[in-house]
Chains A and B, each alone.
Chain A
Amino acid sequence: MIEFIASLVPASLAAHAPALLVVVPMLFAPIAAFMPNGRIAWLLSIIATGIALIMSISLIDQVRSIEGGAVLSYAMGGWAPDAGIEFRIDALNSMVLLLVSTIGFLAAIFSWPTVKAEIRDAKRAMFFAAYLVCFTGLTGVASTGDAFNLFVFLEISSIATYVLVALGATRDRRALPAAGNYLLMGTIGASFFVVGVGFLFAATGTLNMAELAVRLQDVQDNKAVLAGYAFIVVGLGIKAAMFPLHQWLPNAYAYSPSFVTMFLAATATKVAIYALVRFLFTVFGLEFAFEGSTLIWILMPMGIAAMIACSFQAVFQTDVRRTLAYSSVAQVGYMLLGISIGTAAGVSAGLFHLVNHALIKGALFMALAGVVLTYQGTSLNDLKGLGRTSPWTMTAFAIGAVSLIGVPLTAGFQSKYALVNALFEHGWWWAVAVVMFSSLLAVVYMGRMLEAVFFRAPSNPNKRRQEAPFVILIPLWILALANLWVGIQGGFVAGLADDAATALFIGGGS
């Protein structure tokens, strides 16, 4: 199917796919902002993200056309890399781009009913414009090969995100402090990152990531480089909601409009983790003095702490969206644990879980958006008895839930299995026990929801309940079926993750 879609793209466009992927949504954003009503802006955002999706499929095809993964280098504006900004697409980038644009496209389709319900009429066109800007930023982060350019795209997406989160204020005013807090933390994170890039620039005189990787070999013990490394890891850690730096996340997810929650949960932290992986393995490389100790003493303990502490916090929430938000932080822990193993198998497992978690959380939050739409509430009480009145929405929700727990035949199982295998291979058997324990906690918190949905009588039978509209159901079921498909036949996504990890270790290690 990928080959077929890629063959539809003319060669002249395919050559510029890395740029078009970013530029098309960027150009559509101001057009959408000037549209007189939200519905046209909605259609525009579907078109823009659809084009981005086709471009990313074309990129995947181009990268996979060579055994072991090609590296596409695109010189922005025709300026040769190092002097100009390079867009560099390898197996890892193309995987993240495919993930972001798929989720972005599905999210754009599903958005209209929830936006209509939650955003005021005059703001809708602007809302979609902000969404497209956010999407632009995320694809930009995932495709650029220039360290400073990465910062700029990170901020483009983040600033749009602050606006989107704050728009939840029409439903609950607590969205505003949440957005303010997110803005503060996010800006500090990005600033830390840019300080780190400054140190690297001082030590090497380049901003191109591939070039940085080469030149850093000579100045490994330089104190400026070590300081830069620390700043970059902390800065990207804030953006990725690494355990002690995740305080902005639960509120931002719980109070933003349900469309925004779904999109952010499935993409924003994932892209930040991509950037972290890119810096850890491509720019610095495993030979870097700090790297081994960072993986063992920072990423691994923080990942494990997130898996346990945030799973516990998830158990004690009464609001379903907060539960899922804490669970997101816990799942970031799984990814960090996989990455911290520092072997190709471990990183591949971490990336595999990254993709799967995006599918899982995308499906769960999309189903919840349907609940919010028809029932206006997201507490555990509101979910009671929904399994009887809206079986389609809730069955998809249940598929997402069992996938999050890691029941066999679902996506979550496949990636946890890969993670456990990588851990055993590395001899970290005790970490396997932690993974199991955290999964048990997931059984508790997701089990409570499923019990409420399917086995409880509605707490307030007079309220109207109904199925979510078709526009929501279709993307929702695409994601739910994707969970099952990856779970039963996980070869495609696992292959992408393997290629990505191989590209990192071959491309970055030497």
Chain B
Amino acid sequence: MLEFVLERGNYWAIIGLMMIGLYIAFAATNLIKRLVGLGLFQTSIILFYISLSRIDDGTAPILFGKDYGKKKDYDDDPSGGGEYAGEASDYAASGGYDGGHGYGGEGLENVYSNPLPHVLMLTAIVVGVATLAVGLAIIVRIREAYGTVEADEIRAMDLEVAISEAASEAEESKAGAV
């Protein structure tokens, strides 16, 4: 049991970070802190993808010249892609030269890092930065319009406006009825 837990230390760390980030994003009243939580949440996802990319006993899936696109028989490959729940041999044989999971096999002792998740996370980082930038810009405008960045104070101010609006509305409709 303990071994099972410790073996997956990276995932525990990621889940911990993810939940802390999610909690901050919901529980904080300060809008900046909410964005910090959101950033933490997104960063933990990046870590999640990066730790997925580790492959024991693998190597770069480079095929060139006459080997390109050639299907090989990987069925006798017992060890490829230890972390992958799917049958590694299956998709290696189906021509999955993109990922390179399951390539190599016996005789290789390197820990190989699949580049695909890294590339995906480059995109995700860009998305995260854009979100954060827009979020901060909105907070700046909120601060200009309300004079505060505390969510509960903003809600109280909005409520006041809504109540006074409803009151004037009722008056107006009363006047209209008369």
B20 at the interface (CB under 8 A from A): no
B139 at the interface (CB under 8 A from A): yes
Binary contact track B5-22/A, C-beta < 8 Å → 1, others 0: 000000000000010001
Query: Is A148's CB under 8 angstroms from B120's CB?
Result: yes
Query: Is B135's CB under 8 angstroms from A318's CB?
Result: no
Quote the shortest CB–CB distance from B148 to chain A (angstroms): 11
A460 at the interface (CB under 8 A from B): yes
Residues from 264 to 295 in A contacting B, C-beta threshold 8 Å: none
Shortest Cβ distance from B49 into A: residue: A198
Quote the shortest CB–CB distance from A229 to chain B (angstroms): 14
Quote the shortest CB–CB distance from B86 to chain A (angstroms): 5
Binds B, one of A161-169, A361-369, A412-420: A161-169
Residues of A within 8 A of B155 (CB): 177
Residues of A within 8 A of B145 (CB): 169, 173, 176
Find A174's partner among B41, B117, B158 (CB 8 Å cutoff): B158
Binds A, one of B70-78, B89-97, B105-113: B89-97
A422 at the interface (CB under 8 A from B): no
Query: In the docked arrangement, what's the CA distance between A202 and B42, Å?
Result: 18
Quote the shortest CB–CB distance from B12 to chain A (angstroms): 15
Residues A205 and B91 in contact in the complex (CB < 8 Å), given A83-B97, A180-B138: yes
Query: In the docked arrangement, what's the CA distance between A110 and B21, Å?
Result: 41
Query: In the docked arrangement, what's the CA distance between A429 and B71, Å?
Result: 54
Binds B, one of A15-23, A97-105, A181-189, A489-497: A181-189
Query: Is A205's CB under 8 angstroms from B99's CB?
Result: yes
Shortest Cβ distance from A183 into B: residue: B135
Main secondary structure of the interface of A (DSSP, over half): helix
Shortest Cβ distance from A160 into B: residue: B134
Q: List 27 A-B contacts (CB under 8 A).
A: A83-B97, A162-B135, A166-B141, A176-B138, A176-B141, A179-B138, A180-B142, A183-B135, A187-B38, A187-B131, A188-B22, A191-B42, A194-B124, A198-B49, A204-B91, A205-B96, A206-B96, A206-B99, A207-B120, A215-B86, A215-B91, A218-B86, A218-B87, A224-B85, A379-B165, A381-B173, A459-B173
Query: Is A191's CB under 8 angstroms from B45's CB?
Result: yes
Shortest Cβ distance from B132 into A: residue: A187
Shortest Cβ distance from A379 into B: residue: B169
Query: Is B85's CB under 8 angstroms from A203's CB?
Result: yes
- 4 residue pairs, one from A and one from B, having the closest CB atoms: A459-B176, A173-B145, A83-B98, A176-B142
A432 at the interface (CB under 8 A from B): no
B161 at the interface (CB under 8 A from A): yes
Residues A205 and B139 in contact in the complex (CB < 8 Å), given A173-B145, A384-B176: no
Shortest Cβ distance from B83 into A: residue: A202
Query: In the docked arrangement, what's the CA distance between A173 and B138, Å?
Result: 11
Residues from 122 to 178 in B contacting A, C-beta threshold 8 Å: 123-124, 127, 130-131, 134-135, 137-139, 141-142, 145-146, 151, 154-155, 158, 161, 165-166, 169, 172-173, 175-176
Find B138's partner among A166, A190, A195, A381 (CB 8 Å cutoff): A166
Quote the shortest CB–CB distance from A26 to chain B (angstroms): 15
Residues of A within 8 A of B175 (CB): 459
Contact residues of B with A, CB < 8 Å?
18, 22, 25, 31, 34, 38, 41-42, 45, 48-49, 52, 81, 83-88, 90-91, 95-99, 101, 117, 120, 123-124, 127, 130-131, 134-135, 137-139, 141-142, 145-146, 151, 154-155, 158, 161, 165-166, 169, 172-173, 175-176
Find B135's partner among A180, A188, A206 (CB 8 Å cutoff): A180
Find A177's partner among B18, B45, B98, B158 (CB 8 Å cutoff): B158
Quote the shortest CB–CB distance from B145 to chain A (angstroms): 4
Query: Is A194's CB under 8 angstroms from B138's CB?
Result: no
Query: Is A155's CB under 8 angstroms from B127's CB?
Result: yes
Find A184's partner among B25, B142, B154 (CB 8 Å cutoff): B25
Quote the shortest CB–CB distance from A175 to chain B (angstroms): 9
A245 at the interface (CB under 8 A from B): no
Quote the shortest CB–CB distance from B119 to chain A (angstroms): 10
Query: In the docked arrangement, what's the CA distance between A162 and B137, Å?
Result: 11
Residues of A within 8 A of B45 (CB): 191, 194-195, 198
Query: In the docked arrangement, what's the CA distance between A215 and B94, Å?
Result: 11
Query: Is B52's CB under 8 angstroms from A183's CB?
Result: no
Residues of A within 8 A of B127 (CB): 151-152, 155, 159, 190
Query: Is A198's CB under 8 angstroms from B52's CB?
Result: yes
Query: Is A201's CB under 8 angstroms from B117's CB?
Result: yes
